[in-house]
């Protein structure tokens, strides 16, 4: 797999990050080195093993579908500057 | 004075909670100037809780001062997980652990400094870098560096609530010379934890003495319907330790550290965990970064935390906010994590890492069972192998000038001894058992899932402070 500036730019765009040219140049050799280290796991003998998405077996916990106390509108909005008429205000969608 | 003695004195009315809390707040402010162990000292909250406990002492922790790692939400107290992107965020609710502690009469004194979102081994990836209490030119370790630092320095009764993803409790506990317990994955609710990696994060405890961990664990553990990964199990109370083994590969390190750990032990055998040594670091970092990159997707400057004036469309606004307020290390981890989850790479990295995790769990489980078969041929039954032992860190606390020279990969490799139990959700305890010069060396004890009692029992026997 080729790790180059184009790949970093593509991944950054997917991650909603604008990287400067300086950051891209700095990250390129670092990410190459880390990804080379990640390659080590390809040699691990995992035939017939199931993936462990959690370290312990965990059963789904579902709750009853009933109304419970939740955050008030005021509390939900108190940490943002972007609000209007009791709603979050966002950037233009179109 | 250990916390158990203090709690008894409070109950008997022999000490004033208000005086103790005022004393620790004053101490915290003074120490913070030199060591940067707190991001916030929650004086108003602490004094109001102290007032209540002074008038009407109630609960098993009545009047006990507790500091809390910044990534755990405390109602109306800035909780930013060491990140600029959560600047000024004051949660409108308490994390379950915080509510449980307050309900038992504990006093929350502040939020301790840490690497941004836990992204680091030295607590240097943040704008408030804690300093090692034994040598201010050295790091505290990370990411729960502020918790370890203050736990070592305070002269008042106190414990700290910390958090570990890949070693963030054991590592700073070792570097600062305190006890650090990381419980079994799922034993302590994570509701209200500002998450790093969901299949890895655990909330735990730091204290000066090992015996101080038990009363806190008793309170914070337990099923929580608000956390979908919370374990709903009964823990068998069994403190009996039959066999201990040292992990062979973990002692292939600096002979001085090896000696500092082994000199405290007797009657042990040696067990080999070759797959943990080979694969734990890349497996851990693939999983941690993949999960971190999805968790960090929610920070976009809209609902809470740092922001910018609204301008442009959704994507350009979110990208601007994230690019301005995430640190370099957060960006690096987002890029790497996103990469390992992208179409075409997911199978080779993310899914493969999940399978390697199974391989490592099996290797540990085998050690906890099979090892005794090999070394106890005269025994009539197969005794479980109770505790595996290794040094917590391969080095003593490094100087800041040494950390600056490390590449990101070299930084990640510092977690070589702690990522194994973290990846597999095994409980582990770092105990101060020696020193090289004035710098502490920790011994790490690992047990099978849900056997924290054995760790605490054995830790009490070997701790040296």
Please say if the pLDDT value at position B371 is more than 50: no
Please say if the pLDDT value at position B22 is more than 50: yes
The answer to whether the CB atoms of B358 and A88 lie below 8 A apart is no
Distance from CA of A44 to the nearest CA of B (A): 7
Please say if the pLDDT value at position B48 is more than 80: yes
A66 touches chain B (CB under 8 A): no
Predicted confidence at residue B259, as pLDDT, reads 84
Distance from CA of A67 to the nearest CA of B (A): 15
Rg over CA atoms, chain A: 22
pLDDT tens readout for residues B102-154: 999 999 999 999 999 999 999 999 999 999 999 999 999 999 999 999 999 99
Predicted confidence at residue B376, as pLDDT, reads 16
Active-site residue, B12 included: no
The domain tally of chain B equals 1
ipTM value for the complex: 0.95
Chain B 14-73, residues with CB within 8 Å of chain A CB atoms:
none
Predicted confidence at residue B395, as pLDDT, reads 73
Omega cis (within 30) before B143: yes
Is B368 within the bounds of a domain?
no
Which chain A residues are Cβ-neighbours of B335 within 8 angstroms? Answer: 8, 11-12, 15, 17, 27, 31
Please say if the pLDDT value at position B383 is more than 50: no
The answer to whether the CB atoms of B278 and A40 lie below 8 A apart is yes
**What percent of chain B is predicted at pLDDT more than 90?**
74
Predicted confidence at residue B384, as pLDDT, reads 38
Is B331 within the bounds of a domain?
no
Residue B375: pLDDT band with limits 50, 70, 90: very low
Kindly give the confidence (pLDDT) of every residue in chain A, 94 residues in length, as a single tens digit, with 9 standing for 90 and above.
688 999 999 999 999 999 999 999 999 999 999 999 999 999 999 999 999 999 998 877 777 899 988 899 999 999 999 999 999 999 987 7
Which chain B residues are Cβ-neighbours of A63 within 8 angstroms? Answer: 225
B233 touches chain A (CB under 8 A): no
- Chain A residue with minimum CA distance to B328: A23
The answer to whether the CB atoms of B332 and A35 lie below 8 A apart is no
Going by the DSSP 8-state scheme, the letter that residue A94 receives in this structure is: -
Active-site residue, B143 included: yes
Is B330 within the bounds of a domain?
no
pLDDT tens readout for residues B282-300: 999 999 999 999 999 999 9
Residue B258: pLDDT band with limits 50, 70, 90: confident
Predicted confidence at residue B373, as pLDDT, reads 21
Helix/strand/coil (H/E/C) assignment for every residue in chain B:
CCHHHHHHHHHHCCCCHHHHHHHHHHHHHHHHHHHCCEEEECHHHHHHHHHHHHHCCCCCCCCCEEEEECCECECCECCCCCCHHHCCCCCCCCCHHHHHHHHCCCEEEEEECCCHHHCCCCCCCCCCCCECCCCCCEECCCCCHHHHHHHHHCCCCCEEEEEECCCCCHHHHHHHCCEEEECCCCCECCCCECCCCCCCCEEEEEECCHHHHHHHHHHHECCCCCCCCCCCCCCCCCCCCCCEEEEHHHHCCCHHHHHHHHCCCCCCEEECCHHHHHHHHHHHHHHHHHHHHHHHHHCCCCCCCCCCCCCCEHHHHHHHHHHHHCCHHHHHHHHHHHHHHCCCCCHHHHHHHHHHHHHHHHHHHHHHHHHHHHHCCCCCCCCCCCEEEEECCCCCCCEHHHHCCCCHHHHHHCCCCCHHHHHCCCCEEEEEEEEECCEEEEEEEEECCCCHHHHHHHHHHHCCC
Residue B436: pLDDT band with limits 50, 70, 90: confident
What average pLDDT does chain B have?
Answer: 91
Predicted confidence at residue B1, as pLDDT, reads 87
Among B97-111, B230-244, B426-440, the range of highest mean pLDDT? B97-111
Q: Which residue has the higher pLDDT, B114 or B242?
A: B114
Residue B419: pLDDT band with limits 50, 70, 90: very high
Average pLDDT value for residue range B433-456? 90
Is B442 within the bounds of a domain?
yes
Please say if the pLDDT value at position B381 is more than 60: no
pLDDT tens readout for residues B172-222: 999 999 999 999 999 999 999 999 999 999 999 999 999 999 999 999 999
The owner of tokens 């965020």 is B89
Distance from CA of B154 to the nearest CA of A (A): 33
The answer to whether the CB atoms of B340 and A38 lie below 8 A apart is yes
Question: Active site residue: B62, B79, B160, B168, which one?
Answer: B168
pLDDT tens readout for residues B394-407: 678 889 998 888 89
The answer to whether the CB atoms of B335 and A12 lie below 8 A apart is yes
- Chain B residue with minimum CA distance to A44: B356
Predicted confidence at residue B71, as pLDDT, reads 98
Residue B382: pLDDT band with limits 50, 70, 90: very low
Active-site residue, B263 included: no
CATH code at B29? Answer: 3.90.1300.10
Chain-centroid distance, C-alpha B403: 20
Phi/psi for B441 (5° steps) reads -120, 130
Compute the count of residue pairs across chains A and B with CB atoms less than 8 Å apart: 188
Predicted confidence at residue B389, as pLDDT, reads 65
Distance from CA of B281 to the nearest CA of A (A): 8
Question: Active site residue: B79, B143, B144, B327, which one?
Answer: B143
Residue B465: pLDDT band with limits 50, 70, 90: low
A61 touches chain B (CB under 8 A): yes
What does the domain layout of chain A look like in residue ranges? 5-43
Is B154 within the bounds of a domain?
yes
The answer to whether the CB atoms of A11 and B335 lie below 8 A apart is yes
Which residue segment(s) compose the domain that B417 sits in?
Answer: 3-240+390-462
Is B319 within the bounds of a domain?
no
Distance from CA of A30 to the nearest CA of B (A): 7
Predicted confidence at residue A64, as pLDDT, reads 84
């Amino acid at each position: 797999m080729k790790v180059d500036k184009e790949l970093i730019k593509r991944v950054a765009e997917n991650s909603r990050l604008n990287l400067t040219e300086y950051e891209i140049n700095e990250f390129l050799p670092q990410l190459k080195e880390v990804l080379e280290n990640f390659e080590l796991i390809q040699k691990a003998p995992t035939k017939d093993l199931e993936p462990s998405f959690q370290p312990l077996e965990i059963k789904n916990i579902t709750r009853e579908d009933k109304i419970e106390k939740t955050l008030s509108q005021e509390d939900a909005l108190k940490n943002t500057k972007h609000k209007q008429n009791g709603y979050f205000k966002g950037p233009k969608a179109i | 004075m250990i916390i158990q003695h203090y709690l008894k004195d409070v109950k008997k009315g022999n000490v004033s909670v208000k005086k103790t809390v005022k004393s620790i707040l004053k101490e915290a402010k003074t120490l913070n100037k030199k060591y940067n162990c707190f991001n916030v000292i929650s004086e108003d909250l602490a004094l109001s809780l102290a007032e209540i406990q002074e008038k009407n002492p109630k609960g098993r922790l009545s009047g006990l001062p507790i500091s809390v790692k910044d990534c755990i939400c405390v109602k109306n107290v800035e909780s930013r997980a060491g990140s600029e992107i959560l600047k000024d965020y004051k949660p409108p609710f308490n994390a379950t652990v915080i509510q449980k502690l307050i309900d038992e009469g504990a006093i929350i004194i502040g939020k301790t400094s840490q690497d941004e979102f836990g992204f680091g081994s030295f607590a240097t990836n943040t704008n408030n870098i804690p300093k090692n209490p034994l040598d201010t030119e050295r790091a505290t370790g990370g990411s729960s560096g502020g918790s370890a630092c203050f736990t070592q320095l305070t002269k008042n009764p106190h414990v700290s609530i910390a958090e570990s993803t890949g070693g963030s409790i054991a590592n700073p506990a070792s570097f600062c010379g305190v006890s650090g317990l990381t419980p079994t994955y799922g034993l302590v609710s994570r509701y209200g934890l500002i998450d790093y990696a969901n299949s890895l994060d655990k909330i735990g405890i730091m204290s000066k003495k090992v015996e101080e961990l038990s009363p806190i664990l008793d309170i914070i553990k337990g099923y929580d319907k608000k956390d979908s990964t919370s374990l709903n199990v009964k823990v068998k109370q069994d403190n009996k330790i039959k066999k201990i083994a040292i992990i062979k590969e973990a002692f292939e390190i600096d002979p001085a550290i090896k000696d500092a750990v082994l000199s405290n032990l007797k009657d042990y055998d040696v067990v080999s965990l070759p797959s943990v040594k080979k694969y734990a670091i890349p497996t851990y970092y693939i999983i941690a970064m993949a999960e971190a990159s999805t968790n960090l997707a929610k920070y976009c400057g809209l609902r809470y935390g740092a922001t910018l004036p609204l301008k442009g469309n959704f994507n350009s606004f979110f990208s601007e906010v994230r690019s301005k307020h995430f640190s370099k290390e957060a960006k690096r981890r987002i890029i790497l994590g996103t990469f390992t989850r992208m179409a075409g790479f997911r199978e080779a990295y993310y899914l493969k890492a999940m399978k390697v995790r199974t391989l490592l769990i099996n290797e540990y489980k085998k050690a906890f069972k099979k090892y005794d078969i090999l070394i106890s041929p005269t025994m009539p039954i197969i005794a479980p192998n109770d505790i595996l032992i290794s040094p917590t860190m391969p080095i003593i606390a490094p100087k800041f000038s040494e950390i600056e020279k490390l590449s990101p990969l070299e930084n990640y490799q510092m977690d070589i001894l702690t990522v194994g139990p973290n990846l597999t959700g095994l409980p582990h305890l770092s105990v101060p058992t020696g020193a090289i010069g004035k710098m502490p060396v920790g011994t790490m004890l690992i047990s099978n899932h849900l056997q924290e009692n054995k760790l605490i029992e054995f830790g009490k026997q070997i701790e040296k402070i």
